[in-house]
Structure 1
């Protein structure tokens, strides 16, 4: 070890503070590294560890030489103020350890020395990682003139660019931010996150894709870990939430890098502000079916159901959690887990929470559960007094989307015979449906009419709905969607099974005129002529009430004759009902054009 001792004598630089970054880099390249490379090859104790250290020191020498080749490295704060001092400290420590290896007696003990060398080797590996990160980012070759001139001790190296800046400038800034997240001290990491948030908020769709392409998402997601500093976790959750909602590209990238698990943990046990940000991100992630399946893999169903409970978090968290459950309800395993975790009861409670978003999402989730879960889930909703709560919500809200979701829930329940029987015997429900058919928007009218057609109310209930018939006639005149015309015709046919309703509609001159106009073969008001024909058949199913005469007076016969000749189902029968024994003569008449 004589050569090592000689080198140690030559390398006695002391631990004084160096005057400049250039002197620090020169110390490492010309004195510390040459000495340690020689010492590592001359070691006779723990030879294997020193050989491994020699490889790392060689890599460090190559990387530092590359960094020194850039004239702009002194302006990079991470390299100048963080990496160089840390490197000098680690290399000096290794130099001291190499001197201890000169004494074959190892006065401190072999195990102690071995542990100290391993710790120093780990530190050296971390420095190499940081140095390679800076080299890959291109930041060491960046012109110092673009650096911020504000508070240089804490400033982000690059000024925050405008979202309209060139891609090269934006990419360099993103790489700088992610370098700080992995290398910088706590305050610099916090400022880097703040700058990233500001840039993302200015143009989420554009910047989020750039972050995915130029950033290092795993390093960002590690800051969601409970061991991370709370200030960093808060800002990181905000960044991840923005990335999850900004674009399909960034949402998928966040999921593929494993964000769902940490986000669910935050929703389960994080502080209130983090729960809301986590819930926002989870809701966005689960909107993609390819991501939603992973909820059960992370034990997320119980967490989401718990987040829907009153008192578990803010109203916003409840709404987002209910929305996330609805996003994932199509997956069989998740749907089964939701039932096991008591989601039906919790969602029904949310219907009366007074929080519109939570009510809306809960109603839609219940509709999805009932539609996809079959009679078993429908019966569970019945047992929890679900129809009464849905009706209470239907009466209380005026928001069209919430009303539509609630009607979807009723319609989904109607697939169960037990539920259909229960709903059909609820006059208050039909009173509400009557009002919605008369006053709702097109989508609500459609859903309400379809529900009336699916149920089997009593004659008395049907009589109470007579005032909705003119609105149903008008619905049939709407060209799109055709399913709305079908729903209106089916509801009308059901209501016209009651004699009193037939009498009342036949007395409504405007409705009769509209119905006859729909029979016109050349009219494009309604493409499927079998629908108005079916209504005419229902309206003329009995001889009383004057319906047949009024239809004939309005010109229905000539239209029905043409439809009969075109073999439209029911047209011939409808014509026969109106004309009676004069049918043969009518066929011989040439109707005026």
Structure 2
């Protein structure tokens, strides 16, 4: 008999009572007398409404007649209060107290029915979500209905209520504040659900908590309710979907270092590392490793926790994950390695020993299939980590890094090209050996092309890199072999071109070239040599004036006069 469907009469009776109570709640909002009493009555009406819509029609049919009678009495009292047509205040207060008592009795009665384990069959009345722009009272009423379903419903109803809650907090942040501040018990119910034995309930609860915890002002409420321990347990033994939600929530909470300590104390570091070690066997690997890595990055901001992570094998785990063919996993692994090794020479050397440099440069190999975004992340990691010591630079060079940068400077998309140029500039600053290698690879010819780029930053980096490279004798000789190189430098010194900051670097390059006989000759014989003197006159630049003096031989003067009289 327990599996029989409720009769049409039972269902229609339940719907009729729910409709009456719903309209009564709306009517009560317009009452301007006895407001304290009506606030209490409205609260009980909302509880009663939520309990009725969560219940099964057949199981509740015995209570419906009494509830309907009380609702009709209440509606009559509401009408008289709206119309101010009651005979006396004391009598009306007494009537309201009697009605409130009846409503409390009905709520208690329904609560007892639910406690006895009433089966929820899915024939319950469904409260519609308020439309966009609805008032707070309607939104609050909807949330209380969801809360009731979570408290008294079976697993199916709990899951559906959580899904509906997730939908509204994602789409409208006004619901987020109501969940945390206005509707009591919501936070504690959600935290309790994280410890549920019902997998789908845990998954949906984790999704909701991860959304609400994204708001900085509400995180403390969840931490105070003890959310961290159950979240870590979900990471340890939950489903993949549950782990994704738990990791997303913890990435927000661990932005506070106090919470980072709490996560670590509950075993969160070990749980996250185990997830990442086995992530290649997960179905939702990218969705899971991303937030897990962000939690670990937050945790490694605490030095003691970072040391523990290193001892637990974080370096070897994430060097291995850089090889993943899942881009989200790959990017997250690279970013975490960068966070752990940044500013820590011992960890950087450990990354080198574990093959970290080799695997990063493998991703930069043009033959490796990956997106520009991934290559950008790799280049930034290389720039931030491997220019700290000559030994690291030597490792980069030995693995063919110079040839890779040449490829991207010549052939990369604009964003990659500019990053490659920036890394080249950093390489020039690193060592004499690097400057020679760059010169041998043909970088100077490529850098010259960027001296006239639209971006000031690109022009500046190209000029600075070139300025460093021509300080090497071998590079100077190679540079002046191409007559067009010096001609372009001198053309760009034209005072009418602007960008004086860039021109000062060009003067520095020319000054270096004058230490080479062939360079000095080509400068003075160029049809644009007069630009040096013009720039020196137009700018308060000691370097430009010094360059003019260095070139001020009779032959140079004669060439300047000839150039002025017969400009090319």
Residue 269 of structure 1 aligns with which residue? 237
The Cα RMSD (Å) is 4.4
Residue 527 of structure 1 aligns with which residue? 501
Structure 1 residues 154 and 556, CA, compared in 2 at 3 Å: closer, same or farther?
farther
Q: CA deviation at 1:383?
A: 1.4
Structure 1 residues 332 and 75, CA, compared in 2 at 3 Å: closer, same or farther?
closer
* Secondary structure, counterpart of 1:160 in structure 2: coil
Residue of structure 2 aligned with 1:336, choices 297, 300, 307 = 307
Whether 2:437 is the aligned partner of 1:461: answer yes
Residue 389 of structure 1 aligns with which residue? 359
- In structure 2, C-alpha distance between the alignment counterparts of 1:168 and 1:519, rounded to whole Å: 71
Q: Contact (CA 8 Å) 1:309, 1:318: kept in 2 or not?
A: no
Residue 406 of structure 2 aligns with which residue? 434
- In structure 1, C-alpha distance between the alignment counterparts of 2:55 and 2:503, rounded to whole Å: 82
Residues 256-315 of structure 1 show CA distances to partners (whole Å, capped at 9, x for unaligned) of: 654343223212221222122223333344467786565434432222222221446442
Residue of structure 2 aligned with 1:199, choices 161, 168, 173 = 168
Q: CA deviation at 1:528?
A: 4.6
- In structure 1, C-alpha distance between the alignment counterparts of 2:496 and 2:223, rounded to whole Å: 55
Whether 2:392 is the aligned partner of 1:420: answer yes
Residue 169 of structure 1 aligns with which residue? 138
- In structure 2, C-alpha distance between the alignment counterparts of 1:185 and 1:424, rounded to whole Å: 60
Q: CA deviation at 1:355?
A: 1.5
Q: Contact (CA 8 Å) 1:182, 1:219: kept in 2 or not?
A: no
TM-score of the superposition, structure 2-length normalised?
Answer: 0.69
Q: CA deviation at 1:337?
A: 2.5
Q: CA deviation at 1:386?
A: 1.6
Segments of 5+ residues of structure 2 without an aligned counterpart are 1-12, 15-35, 63-103, 109-120
* Secondary structure, counterpart of 2:343 in structure 1: helix
Whether 2:285 is the aligned partner of 1:315: answer yes
- In structure 2, C-alpha distance between the alignment counterparts of 1:512 and 1:233, rounded to whole Å: 70
Residue 126 of structure 1 aligns with which residue? none
Whether 2:445 is the aligned partner of 1:473: answer no
Residue of structure 2 aligned with 1:406, choices 373, 378, 381 = 378
Q: CA deviation at 1:226?
A: 3.0
- In structure 2, C-alpha distance between the alignment counterparts of 1:427 and 1:378, rounded to whole Å: 17
Residue 93 of structure 1 aligns with which residue? none
Q: Contact (CA 8 Å) 1:286, 1:324: kept in 2 or not?
A: yes
Q: Matches of residues 101-500 of structure 1 in structure 2 within 5 Å? A: 153-156=123-126, 158-201=127-170, 203=171, 205-215=173-183, 216-245=185-214, 247-249=215-217, 254=222, 257-286=225-254, 294-310=262-278, 311=280, 313=282, 314-316=284-286, 317-373=288-344, 375-395=345-365, 396-417=368-389, 419-423=391-395, 425-426=397-398, 428-440=400-412, 441-442=414-415, 443-456=418-431, 457=433, 461-466=437-442, 468-477=443-452, 482=457, 484-499=458-473
- In structure 2, C-alpha distance between the alignment counterparts of 1:244 and 1:481, rounded to whole Å: 42
Structure 1 residues 378 and 537, CA, compared in 2 at 3 Å: closer, same or farther?
farther
Q: CA deviation at 1:462?
A: 2.5
Q: Contact (CA 8 Å) 1:477, 1:525: kept in 2 or not?
A: no
Q: CA deviation at 1:388?
A: 0.9
Structure 1 residues 493 and 562, CA, compared in 2 at 3 Å: closer, same or farther?
closer
- In structure 2, C-alpha distance between the alignment counterparts of 1:564 and 1:163, rounded to whole Å: 68
Residue of structure 2 aligned with 1:562, choices 535, 540, 565 = 535
- In structure 1, C-alpha distance between the alignment counterparts of 2:472 and 2:234, rounded to whole Å: 58
- In structure 1, C-alpha distance between the alignment counterparts of 2:321 and 2:520, rounded to whole Å: 48
Q: Matches of residues 64-75 of structure 1 in structure 2 within 5 Å? A: 66-67=40-41, 75=49
- In structure 1, C-alpha distance between the alignment counterparts of 2:456 and 2:303, rounded to whole Å: 31
* Secondary structure, counterpart of 1:570 in structure 2: helix
- Higher mean alpha-carbon deviation, 65-74 vs 330-339, is at 65-74
Residues 178-199 of structure 1 show CA distances to partners (whole Å, capped at 9, x for unaligned) of: 3433454544433321221233
TM-score of the superposition, structure 1-length normalised?
Answer: 0.66
* Secondary structure, counterpart of 2:541 in structure 1: coil
- Higher mean alpha-carbon deviation, 255-264 vs 345-354, is at 255-264
Residues 500-527 of structure 1 show CA distances to partners (whole Å, capped at 9, x for unaligned) of: 5445544556654553344344533463
Residue 117 of structure 1 aligns with which residue? none
Structure 1 residues 553 and 172, CA, compared in 2 at 3 Å: closer, same or farther?
farther
Structure 1 residues 249 and 439, CA, compared in 2 at 3 Å: closer, same or farther?
farther
Structure 1 residues 166 and 70, CA, compared in 2 at 3 Å: closer, same or farther?
closer
